[in-house]
Amino acid sequence: MNIVLLGAPGSGKGTMAQKLAVELNIPQISTGDIFRKNLREETPLGIQIKNIMASGQLVPDEITIEIVKNRLAEPDCANGYILDGFPRSLVQAAALDTFQNIDIAVNLDVDEEAIVARLSGRRFCPDCNGTFHVSTLNGANVCPACGGKLIVREDDTEATVRNRLAVYNKTTLPLVEYYTEQGKIATVDGNGSIAEVYARVISLLKK
């Protein structure tokens, strides 16, 4: 199954994608994770996008589309994949439709207060891309999955979060209508615990 996860920053796309990838045995393709890896490794792409990411703007469509197109052509995507954070503009969505068939776009709908609470407590593991929340770590600063050192994402500052939400509302939210018109949208209540939201998502996908 070829799945797109839609939702605001902090709506839980990465959290759900990681669990779905294990259960459905298909890869999670996170453009954010790909870009952050390039930042850390200071590749030419990483240097080019550093300021864009830090301010919460979108990386240019041409760059992003090319990366995703190449990634989806790899053999591990042959039986399906979960797109986490792509597409996030109408240009990206239209481009995706020229080289892939999407089965479903799951839209995680979360209240704004919950989003702020989630992002302000997020911890990220650069070693395995694991995403956690301080409230579940009992004060530890190591990744429960791989033992790596957890960090706070550079774009989780208050000003950048505000900008990311504004960019989402302006540029990404129109994708809900785009996939509705294609008859592919499935909106899920993304409020509640991780287990509750995951149960909603998986029951929808297994229908």
Hey, which residues are catalytic here?
13, 88, 122, 153, 164
Give Cα 18 to chain centroid, integer Å: 10
By CB under 6 A, which span of 21-29, 40-48, 85-93, 94-102 interacts with ligand AP5?
Answer: 85-93
Residue 206's alpha-carbon distances to 51, 78, 84, 201, 203, in angstroms, are 40, 19, 19, 9, 5
Q: Which amino acid is at 71?
A: R
Binding residue for ligand AP5 (CB under 6 A) from 6, 26, 59, 82? 59
Binding residue for ligand AP5 (CB under 6 A) from 85, 93, 95, 96? 85
Binding mask 114-133 for ligand AP5 (x = CB under 6 A): ----xx-xx--------xxx
- By rule CB under 5 A, what count of residues binds Mg ion? 1
Binding residue for Mg ion (CB under 5 A) from 7, 12, 14, 190? 14
Question: Residue 88 in contact with residue 58, Cβ under 8 Å?
Answer: yes
Helix (H, G, I), strand (E, B) or coil at 106: strand
- What lies within 8 Å, CB to CB, of 10 at 6+ separation is 110, 114, 115, 116, 118, 119, 122, 161
d(CA 107, CA 175): 10
Q: Does 27 bind Mg ion (CB under 5 A)?
A: no
- Binding site residues, Mg ion, CB under 5 A: 14
Under the rule (CB under 6 A), what is the footprint of ligand AP5? 7, 9-15, 31-32, 35, 52-53, 56-59, 64, 85-86, 88, 92, 118-119, 121-122, 131-133, 155, 164, 192-194, 197
